[in-house]
């Protein structure tokens, strides 16, 4: 049995979870509402503010789906109650980030400014202080959407191993390489 799949999910106060008969799980809380379609053979049971995910048999496919859907439902419950937050740091000379509403403008050493329109579910804040790297803070209730947007922003200039320049997560350690050594 999946260790992740059999773990129960407790529902915090202020969060409402419903399962429709067409296997759509809806989670509503103070930070928003999320929905997820569940595989027809996986069952979601809600009793006494605890959600359990049950699979019909022990096949390899059902075992993997068991853990997957339990994680997705747990992330939805956590997202609408507490939310998710990621911070990206721009490391490099002249790298800047500004936002006006949902439009994020990045200056990452290219000949042009990169403009990215973010989904309305994400709250964005770009902070540039003197003597420190610009930091982009993204907050939302949807963990999957947050990861996709962070990966998109990071793909514009991934951290390179020689000087460490690029877009990275705050606290991420970039493995550095030695450059060329001069011939003696």
pLDDT score recorded for residue 136: 96
Stated pTM of the model: 0.88
Above 60 in pLDDT, residue 1? Answer: no
Per-residue pLDDT band at 149 (split at 50, 70, 90) = very high
What distance lies between CA 13 and its chain's CA centroid?
23
Q: Which fold has domain 84-169?
A: Outer Surface Protein A; domain 3 (3.90.930)
- Its CATH class, for the domain covering 9-81, is alpha beta
Average pLDDT across the chain, whole number: 92
pLDDT at 21: 85
CATH 3.90.930.12 domain span(s) along the chain: 9-81, 84-169
Confidence at residue 85, expressed as pLDDT on a 0 to 100 scale = 97
pLDDT of residue 118: 95
For residue 184, the model assigns a pLDDT of 66
Average pLDDT over residues 20-44: 92
Lowest-pLDDT range of 20-24, 64-68, 178-182: 178-182
**What's residue 22's pLDDT?**
82
Predicted confidence (pLDDT) per residue in 47-89, tens digit: 999 999 999 998 889 988 999 999 999 999 999 999 999 999 9
Q: Is the pLDDT of residue 182 over 70?
A: no
Percent of the chain with pLDDT over 90: 80
Among the residues of 13-142, which ranges form H helices? 60-81
What's the order of all strands across the beta sheet hosting 84-91?
123-127, 135-140, 84-91, 166-169
Residue 2 has pLDDT above 70, yes or no: no
Residue 183 scores a pLDDT above 90? no
């Amino acid at each position: 049995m999946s260790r992740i799949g059999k773990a129960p999910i407790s529902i915090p106060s202020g969060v409402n979870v419903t399962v429709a008969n067409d296997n759509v799980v809806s989670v509503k809380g103070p930070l928003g509402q999320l929905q997820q379609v569940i595989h027809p053979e996986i069952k979601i049971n809600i009793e006494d503010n605890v959600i359990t995910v049950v699979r019909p048999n022990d096949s390899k496919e059902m075992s993997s789906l068991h853990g997957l859907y339990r994680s997705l439902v747990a992330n939805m419950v956590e997202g609408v109650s507490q939310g998710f937050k990621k911070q990206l740091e721009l490391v490099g000379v002249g790298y800047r980030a500004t936002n006006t509403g949902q439009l994020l403008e990045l200056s990452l050493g290219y000949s042009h400014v990169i403009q990215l329109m973010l989904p309305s579910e994400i709250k964005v804040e770009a902070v540039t202080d003197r003597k420190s790297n610009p930091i982009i803070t993204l907050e939302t209730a949807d963990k999957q959407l947050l990861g996709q947007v962070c990966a998109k922003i990071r793909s514009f200039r991934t951290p390179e191993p020689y000087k460490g320049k690029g877009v990275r997560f705050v606290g991420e350690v970039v493995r550095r390489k030695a450059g060329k050594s001069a011939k003696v």
